């Protein structure tokens, strides 16, 4: 099990983001949905790089669960956007939690996870080797893009991928 303590450089936003994430984890728990952490928070957990920012939290859940999640979000009056690219974004001011389709984003990746303890919460996180492969594939997909946004995303992904390659299991 990995225990996460400490903060990325954007500590104030991270604290607010994590409090919001706790709300979403509670909803998932009530619905018996197990999110899998797969974005920059996962990178931070493995690298402990306090110079990085965690601006949102990315997880994967079964896409078939989106309607049940949306129902509860609406009942609790929590803002969300269902995106065409297989992502349910949950929003609160400048905070964003992304619930991506596990079937789409984790397709053909090893089902290899670790447990990550953050405060009182334990969440599944992609293993270090799987997270590296996840970022490698994401970089390759962005490298083919022609939009300016693809180039920016590629560079951000590359920095995280390189950090993951330096991390020790």
- Give pLDDT tens digits for 20-35: 999 999 999 999 999 9
The residues, ordered by sequence, that sit 6+ positions from 112 with a Cβ below 8 Å of its Cβ are 126, 127, 129, 130
What's the pLDDT at 126? 97
CB-based contact 45:169 (threshold 8 Å): no
Edge-first strand order for the sheet with 95-101 is 2-4, 113-118, 121-126, 36-37, 57-61, 95-101, 87-92, 79-83
User: What phi and psi values does residue 129 have, to the nearest 5 degrees?
Assistant: -65, -40
- Give pLDDT tens digits for 34-92: 999 999 999 999 999 999 999 999 999 999 999 999 999 999 999 999 999 999 999 99
Question: How far is it, in rounded angstroms, from Cα 149 to Cα 147?
Answer: 5
Strand locations in 31-106 (E): 36-37, 57-61, 79-83, 87-92, 95-101
Query: Which token pair is 119?
Result: 């405060």
Question: How far is it, in rounded angstroms, from Cα 149 to Cα 47?
Answer: 26
Domain spanning 2-127 has what CATH number?
3.30.460.40
- Give pLDDT tens digits for 129-160: 999 999 999 988 888 877 888 888 899 999 99
Q: What percent of the chain has pLDDT over 90?
A: 82
CB-facing half-sphere around the CA of 140: CA atoms within 13 A: 6
């Amino acid at each position: 099990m990995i225990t996460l303590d400490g903060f990325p450089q954007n500590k104030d936003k991270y604290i607010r983001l994590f409090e919001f994430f706790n709300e979403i984890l509670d909803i998932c728990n009530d619905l018996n949905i197990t999110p899998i952490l797969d974005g920059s928070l996962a990178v931070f957990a493995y690298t402990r790089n306090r110079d990085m920012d965690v601006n949102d939290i990315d997880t994967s859940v079964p896409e078939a669960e989106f309607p049940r999640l949306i129902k509860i979000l609406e009942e609790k009056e929590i803002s969300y956007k269902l995106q065409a690219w297989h992502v349910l974004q949950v929003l609160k001011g400048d905070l964003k939690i992304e619930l991506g389709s596990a079937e789409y984003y984790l397709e053909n990746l090893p089902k290899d996870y670790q447990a990550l303890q953050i405060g009182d919460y334990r969440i599944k996180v992609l293993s270090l080797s799987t997270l590296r492969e996840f970022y490698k594939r994401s970089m390759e997909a962005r490298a083919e893009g022609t939009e300016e946004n693809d180039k920016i995303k590629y560079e951000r992904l590359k920095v995280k991928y390189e950090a993951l390659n330096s991390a020790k299991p």
